[in-house]
Structure 1
Amino acid sequence: MHAGWTTANDAAITYYIDRKANESRLAPLWAALITQDMGDDAVPMSAFNKMELYTQKYTFNGREFNPMLTWDGAYFQAMLPAIWLNERALMPDYRMVEDMTFIQMAYAAEYNIPMVSSSATTDDGYAAFGVPYLSESKVKFNNVIHEGKTGTPHAVALSYLVSPDAAVSALKGLKAVYPAIESEFGWYDAVDDKGRMSTKILSLDQGMFVGAFLAKDINADVQRYLDARGYTDDVATMYQSYVPNNG
């Protein structure tokens, strides 16, 4: 599915939503739901079902992990949609998300930073930071990614969706080490392994930070809407395709 339309060229943009482990994965799902009654013009469920998904096996301290890979290795690419839908209940095997979260946490602990996701840089730019071991682009194609040792509080907050106690503990620890990271307007967006801190507060990242803690209620509200519109079974059916294409 094309990711959008450009009015400048009056044409679809060249970027596709073609990966399930992508922050935009609910777009093709939602398009299929709301166009069901449009006959030949309806978006088919295959727009969601045929998106690719990859995992990669690792051994860490004697344990085997098989984490889900996002394109950049950024945590928000995997977790943003879970603010809206209870993906733990929908995915056939949620362990790949749990494993991805564990490796993110281990990487963060190794470099004494928050978990890693696209964020501001500590010189107040912006970069698509990711964990190289969790990046499909790096693991499968050996592309260069932004693997700078910079973490972001919103990624830690998003991990509340997977491991609530660990997320709260990590945020408290981050605040203890960097008391100035919390401002009256929200948490500053990034800290690197040298202790340098961004002065940027990004609205999307603050939204994910707050949304992660409200997700249970948001999930319930969205579920009521799906039930009322008769979409629930179709959502469940599409999520049965949420399995790796490793082959």
Structure 2
Amino acid sequence: MRHRWLTASGAALVAGAMAFAAPAVAAPAAPEPQGGGGGGGGDDGLDRRDRRELMRWANDTWASFVAMTDEETGLPADNIEGDLDTGTRSGYTSPTNIGGYLWSTVVADELDIISHGEALRRMRQTLRTLNEMERHEPSGFFYNWYDEATGEKLTAFPNGETIYPFLSSVDNGWLTAALMVVRNEEPSLRRAADRLLDDQDYGWFYDPTFRGPDRPGLLFGGIFVDTPPDTQCANLGPAPGANGGEGSEEEVWLTCHHYDLLNSEPRIASYIGISRGEIPREHYFAGYRTFPATCDWDWAEQQPSGFDAEHLGQPVFEGSYTYRGMQIVPTWGGSMFEELMPDLFVPEADWAPNSWGVNHPLAVRAHIEHGLEETGYGYWGFSPASHPFGGYSEWGVDAIGMQNEGYPSDVERTNWDGGFGDCRPAANPDPDWGDGVVTPHAAFLALPYAPQETMSNLRGIEDELEAYGPGGFYDAVAVHSGQSAERYLSLDQGMIMGALGNVLGDGVLHDAFTRGDVREHIRPLLALETFSAGEG
């Protein structure tokens, strides 16, 4: 049953990989990334001094995970204060946080930050707790929030705020990715990881009916097992894509929203579901590269350009946005982690030289130019993270995000608006930028594509902005006021450790995640496409 989708169009995929549909116009050539692109091996543009500094940052970042993680359960807290006082652990954790800790433990072992024995002990403890935690048994997936000290499912945060238990497709995707890394990297833990993996069915998150009978479907945002607080935003019914596409027997509340953009972090769940045979491979071409260029979509950030193509029988508008002489396939908010977090596990630039291999280095360059040239912040790297003045917020390069209000790059939340061609005039094409907020994890994600720019940027954040503590770089810093968010988040520290593992550990996450089904089914799929991204 699990491999039902894999046999549906295998012949078409093999044929398509050899000769995909030609675009209506030629795509511009991609700039060459400075580093290895895939992050594993080869000349990565780093010298010995750089590597020593990266190792120091890796050791300090790992210290934050040690402080965040409960000694009895092996579960990390969502966040901890900058002094690493264990009494400031958040009191809650998520599947993504737990996944980040697991893959960071693999990296810490690979980089000899901890002994192999300690790594095994830590991962074994976490897997044991995961096996005992309450899950949604029909789908095998974990709920959104747990107590890191007990492993119990939470129905309220420590501040009393109510939690409605929810199965998130993207959060479970990151935990699944980590379990796949563990099972492939450490044979002695394979059976324990497989007990968790074998229970999962990504068909629960797949809606094959959303775009009608002739088009592949999209992923739901997730599932409420019980009645959600707002039934206007969820539909009661069986998950239609579960159990090999035959549908579930249990009724659940499915979110009304779907993930309909390719360039966003939920594609990790798509990769997993396709590789496991629980989602059809055509689904990869169901999401928008950009929304259409017609005036019906003029609420979006800008009017895209591009060409029409066809892959595996699916029509695709290969759209892109214009930014400072570059054509870039945008994310929703213009943030780095939307663009590059899946790249920590799938070497997208290497496997897809005509699509991600073009777009990733351009997105990095856009962040660099936005921070250094367009705004004059002097630093760069923008991604959702802590707010330096309290709370949590989204940060990004507004112009390369599709959301019309965008993810801002400054405390003032300045909104760039370049209009939508003849459909809508520009409202704010040349804004005055304020107190920019840079997020160090975003710069670490850029290491394979701009190693020397990244090193210079991070050195300045540490030495000049002094946004550094006992657990490594603080989560965010406002560049003009110098105000830091002096805390550490498991999610963001996990991205830092993942990036360092690939760069210093010869692609350890890439190798472990893609072994077997992922390499067999995802690599030829990504090779089919040519984006309209490029220079000029």
Indicate the TM-score class for this superposition, using the shorter chain for normalisation: 0.7 to 0.9
Matched with 1:120 is 386
Alignment of 1:42-57 (within 5 A): 42-54=278-290, 55-57=320-322
Matched with 2:329 is 68
Quick one: structure 1 residues 147 and 163, their matched pair in 2 at CA, closer, same or farther if it must change by over 3 Å? Answer: closer
Q: Could you tell me how far 1:162 is from its partner in structure 2?
A: 1.6
Matched with 2:424 is none
1:49–1:242 Cα contact (<8 Å) kept: no
2:367–2:380 Cα contact (<8 Å) kept: no
Q: Could you tell me how far 1:242 is from its partner in structure 2?
A: 4.9
Which structure has the larger Rg?
2
- How far apart are the structure 2 equivalents of 1:236 and 1:86? 9
2:274–2:281 Cα contact (<8 Å) kept: yes
Alignment of 1:1-247 (within 5 A): 1-9=219-227, 10-34=252-276, 36=277, 42-54=278-290, 55-59=320-324, 64-91=325-352, 92-93=354-355, 94-109=357-372, 110-137=376-403, 142-143=404-405, 145-148=407-410, 149-179=436-466, 181-194=467-480, 195-215=482-502, 216-223=507-514, 225-226=515-516, 229=517, 231-240=518-527, 242-244=529-531
Q: Could you tell me how far 1:144 is from its partner in structure 2?
A: 5.0
2:337–2:445 Cα contact (<8 Å) kept: yes
Q: Which amino acid aligns with 1:121?
A: H
Q: Could you tell me how far 1:244 is from its partner in structure 2?
A: 4.1
Q: Could you tell me how far 1:68 is from its partner in structure 2?
A: 2.7
- How far apart are the structure 2 equivalents of 1:160 and 1:124? 28
Partner-residue secondary structure (3-state), 1:233: helix
1:73–1:133 Cα contact (<8 Å) kept: yes
- How far apart are the structure 2 equivalents of 1:13 and 1:239? 28
Q: Could you tell me how far 1:241 is from its partner in structure 2?
A: 5.2
Q: Which amino acid aligns with 1:167?
A: T
CA RMSD of aligned residues (A): 2.0
Q: Percent identity?
A: 19
Q: Which has the higher strand share?
A: 2
TM-score, normalised by the number of residues in structure 1: 0.84
- How far apart are the structure 1 equivalents of 2:508 and 2:262? 24
1:119–1:190 Cα contact (<8 Å) kept: yes
Q: Could you tell me how far 1:29 is from its partner in structure 2?
A: 2.0
Structure 2 residue ranges without an equivalent (≥5): 1-218, 228-251, 291-319, 411-435
TM-score, normalised by the number of residues in structure 2: 0.40
1:20–1:53 Cα contact (<8 Å) kept: yes
- How far apart are the structure 2 equivalents of 1:127 and 1:147? 10
Q: Could you tell me how far 1:101 is from its partner in structure 2?
A: 0.7
